[in-house]
Structure 1
């Protein structure tokens, strides 16, 4: 049986699933010492991400959140890619969950006239680095980030994507 994945705009009904998914990946899979208290944005998604040219999406399979992605509006026709997480069993070429989520951000960015998307990631997420590079992101230094880009203390590697 084929698994259907649908990318939807976030609504508050998904909040607990979003928090659980993100914390599980951060803490259990990657051993990153980050708590939900370190991420107040997860408890205020509507006001933090879903404003101006930003938004937050969930990938859903059988009413279960299996992925997340957010675009934070940082002004100047620029956005910060945040909260890109996909449940382990939904990663890779079979389900294409990450690509579905990323394409939703690119589509939204074009519609909202966002010209550049920046992201920061941890050194541990090696597969994510390959994914971003394969999909057109170029690695940049922290000094090349816009002043409005919110650098997290765990971010050590940075990328830029130019929307054409």
Structure 2
């Protein structure tokens, strides 16, 4: 299997492909009770990510979208990681795709003077928790999130990363 990949910004032309990656992982693989209707951001990437000052990236192998990560900016200075998902066969430290996606997002934050990055996740995504913690994210209580943090109803765990330039 060829695992060379490229990371590129995504726009609304990719909504269908993004949905085809994310929804099955949430619903089938991890049994998270969330639907497309609960995530209208997936139907309009440009409004929900680009227009906030953030972005949305995809990892592609041989032109096929295999992973995603999004960044929403609130209050002009707070970043929220959203929709970090990889097809199962493209996960793992040895492939480095998840790391490259996160590095792309962090690099963008540093270039745009975003000092604090937050994310919400669910208990079931244990490998994701380890990944975030290895990358310097620390757990925070829901009560300690910024008021502008875009909560997802299913999120039960929260992380924060403070970036220094």
TM-score normalized with structure 1 length: 0.96
- 1:52 Cα deviation from its structure 2 partner: 4.0
Could you say which residue in structure 1 is the equivalent of 2:31?
Answer: 31
Could you say which residue in structure 2 is the equivalent of 1:12?
Answer: 12
The 2-side partners of 1:54 and 1:148 are apart by 14
Could you say which residue in structure 1 is the equivalent of 2:163?
Answer: 163
- 1:147 Cα deviation from its structure 2 partner: 0.3
The 4+ residue runs of structure 1 with deviation greater than 2 A are none
Q: Which ranges in structure 2 are unaligned for 5 or more consecutive residues?
A: none
- 1:132 Cα deviation from its structure 2 partner: 0.3
What's the RMSD between the two structures over aligned residues? Answer: 1.1
Could you say which residue in structure 2 is the equivalent of 1:78?
Answer: 78
Work out whether residues 69 and 102 of structure 1, in 8 Å CA contact, stay in contact via their aligned partners in 2.
Answer: yes
> Could you say what secondary structure the match of 1:129 adopts?
helix
> Could you say what secondary structure the match of 2:50 adopts?
coil
Could you say which residue in structure 2 is the equivalent of 1:122?
Answer: 122
Could you say which residue in structure 2 is the equivalent of 1:59?
Answer: 59
- 1:69 Cα deviation from its structure 2 partner: 0.4
Could you say which residue in structure 2 is the equivalent of 1:108?
Answer: 108
The 2-side partners of 1:67 and 1:2 are apart by 15
After TM superposition, the structure 1 stretch with the greater mean CA deviation from structure 2, 135-144 or 69-78, is: 69-78
The 2-side partners of 1:161 and 1:81 are apart by 10
Could you say which residue in structure 2 is the equivalent of 1:93?
Answer: 93
Q: Which ranges in structure 1 are unaligned for 5 or more consecutive residues?
A: none
> Could you say what secondary structure the match of 1:42 adopts?
helix
Work out whether residues 123 and 157 of structure 1, in 8 Å CA contact, stay in contact via their aligned partners in 2.
Answer: yes
The 2-side partners of 1:155 and 1:26 are apart by 12
The 1-side partners of 2:97 and 2:71 are apart by 17
